[in-house]
């Protein structure tokens, strides 16, 4: 993990980081700041960016501020709410690779524009970090290590927890074990 962050700190331009205050982005920012403080640390200054909205349940700024106090990282708080879901729809559609536009896409667009305005050309993000330790991957690992009884028991538990079907969870785990060529052919 540290080496992966170190490799992404090589830049002649300012480095930006999405910072939500969650584990993934906080670990990246803390590691980047620790690496920059090393005697041979030659990376440019890190700029952290967080998006917030009017809804108090989605305001993660207290967590972000704790990371910033701990690391001393310069942070920028970007207001990302837009009451009109179709505002800038042309910009949004131009940027996506599929016809699906996530509900938080406009706040991501505002955040990206702020990052560009600060001259950052490298962007660190914790996106996808949850998939490293997700339930489906865990279930696939149970199959990979030949523990079928535990696989069945855990599939049932996850299905009950998420109010889904056992076959659905088991099927997704099985699909993870298929070779890439077979998955491609299946599409």
pLDDT digits (tens, 9 = 90+) for 133-186: 567 888 889 999 999 999 999 999 888 888 888 898 888 888 888 887 887 777
184: CB partners within 8 A, 6+ apart: none
Closest CA to 138 of 9, 147, 13: 147
Which string of DSSP letters, residue by residue, matches 56-70?
A: GGG--HHHHHHHHHH
pLDDT over 60 (residue 112): yes
Q: Give the model confidence (pLDDT) of 30-77 as tens digits.
A: 999 998 888 776 677 788 998 877 777 778 889 999 999 999 888 888
pLDDT: which is higher, 132 or 154? 154
Query: Quick one: tokens of 125?
Result: 């993000």
Angle, vertex CA 14, rays to CA 11 and CA 16, nearest 5? 105
pLDDT over 60 (residue 103): no
Q: Give the model confidence (pLDDT) of 9-23 as tens digits.
A: 888 888 899 998 888
Cα–Cα distance for residue pair 37/35, rounded to 1 Å? 5
Give the residue ranges of DSSP H helices in the chain: 2-7, 23-36, 61-71, 89-95, 105-117, 135-144, 148-161, 166-177, 180-186
What is the structure's pLDDT at 94?
A: 66
What is the structure's pLDDT at 41?
A: 65
Closest CA to 173 of 146, 135, 119, 126: 135
């Amino acid at each position: 993990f540290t080496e992966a962050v170190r490799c992404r700190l090589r830049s002649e331009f300012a480095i930006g980081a999405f910072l939500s205050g969650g584990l993934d982005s906080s670990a990246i920012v803390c590691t980047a700041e620790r690496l920059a403080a090393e005697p041979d640390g030659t990376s440019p200054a890190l700029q952290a960016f967080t998006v917030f909205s009017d809804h108090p349940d989605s305001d993660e700024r207290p967590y972000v501020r704790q990371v910033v106090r701990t690391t001393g990282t310069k942070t920028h708080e970007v207001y990302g709410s837009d009451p009109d879901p179709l505002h800038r729809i042309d910009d949004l559609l131009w940027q996506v690779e599929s016809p699906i536009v996530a509900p938080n896409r406009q706040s991501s667009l505002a955040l990206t524009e702020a990052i560009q305005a600060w001259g950052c050309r490298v962007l660190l993000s914790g996106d996808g970090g949850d998939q490293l330790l997700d339930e489906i991957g865990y279930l696939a690992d149970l199959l990979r290590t030949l523990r079928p009884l535990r696989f069945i028991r855990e599939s049932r538990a996850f299905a009950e927890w998420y109010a889904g079907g056992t076959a659905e969870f088991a099927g997704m785990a099985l699909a993870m074990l298929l070779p890439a060529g077979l998955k491609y052919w299946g599409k």
